[in-house]
Structure 1
Amino acid sequence: MEFRVYYEDTDAGGVVYHARYLGFLERGRCEFLRERGLSVKGLAERDNIFPVIRIEVDFRAPAVLDDLLRVECEVVEVGKTSFTLGQQVVRALDGKLLVSALVTLVCVGPGMKPKRLPAELLQALRPETP
């Protein structure tokens, strides 16, 4: 998924404000699922919500106003009720790694009780075979 950095994304120093990357990563996860035939909205309509329960972020280099960024995702681990994605924010122009993250999400249903990952999600998280 690619997108442009806008003025609203930057801080007083002219670089992307660190908290904005969490939103970028969220968008990347949503598009990662969409590319695999799922939507966050559709999963939620079937009582499957996926809150982030752990996130580890390494800021490696700054993005600045008007940069074109790309968010990449890969499946790191899949459990019974949770999964972990490795995510990267890369500057599209030169491929420079700006941010890397490990994000763990858990599946919850009504009452925020953990539940097994739905079969359709498990299928979407399987490694792609050529």
Structure 2
Amino acid sequence: MGPTVTARFEWPVRVYYEDTDLGGVVYYANYLKFLERARSEWLRHLGVSQVQLLESQRLLFAITAVEIRYHRPARFEDALVVTVELETLRRASMVFRQAIHRGGPDGELLCSARVTAACLDADSMRPRPLPAHLFPE
């Protein structure tokens, strides 16, 4: 049996110098990059190729809303874990709960977010239903 859509997915990331500001603290917008990469890795883990969706079905995903809270700063060389949990699966969108922890998935909470992604027709940029075969659960 393959990976489950509703299971919490964890993706490790290391903070590099380029992620930080002058004080060695992760620049606030870079947390969004970490969250994005984890969602992309979650899809890949489920066997979903975004390139294949675009080329064969003319589908893509676009972020329509982000609620983010910064709890503690991440710093240069920190080992982080970014988590992804599917909160809601709608006809043409998904809502994710995500978090970034220092040291592991149960480590110090640095950032929490709720992210909404819409499924769009690549040509018209209008909402389109998610293909049922992507998330059969």
Q: In the alignment, what sits opposite 2:69? A: 58
Q: TM-score, normalised by structure 2?
A: 0.85
User: 1:75 is paired with a residue of what secondary structure?
Assistant: strand
Identity of aligned residues (%): 44
1:36 corresponds, among 6, 31, 46, to: 46
Match of 2:32 in 1: 22
Equivalent pairs counted in the alignment come to: 124
Q: Which residue of 1 aligns with 2:124?
A: 111
Residue 38 of structure 1 deviates from its aligned partner by 0.9
d(CA) in 2 for partners of 1:121 and 1:90?
28
Partner residue in 2 for 1:82: 93
Please state how far the C-alpha of 1:122 moved relative to its aligned partner: 2.4
Q: Answer whether contact 1:30 1:39 (CA < 8 A) is retained.
A: no
1:95 aligned onto 2:111? no
Q: Is the 8 A contact 1:80 1:117 kept in 2?
A: yes
Q: TM-score, normalised by structure 1?
A: 0.90
Matching residue's letter, 2:129: R
Q: Aligned-pair distance for 1:77?
A: 0.6
Structure having the larger proportion of residues in strand: 2
Please, what is the CA RMSD of the aligned residues?
1.3
Matched residues in 2 for 1:120 and 1:60: separation? 37
1:19 & 1:63 partners in 2: Cα distance? 12
Please say if 1:67 is aligned against 2:97: no
Matched residue of 1:50: which SS?
Answer: strand
Q: CA deviation at 1:92?
A: 2.1
Paired residue for 2:21? 11
- Give the superposition deviation at 1:113: 1.1
1:47 to 49, 58, 83: 58
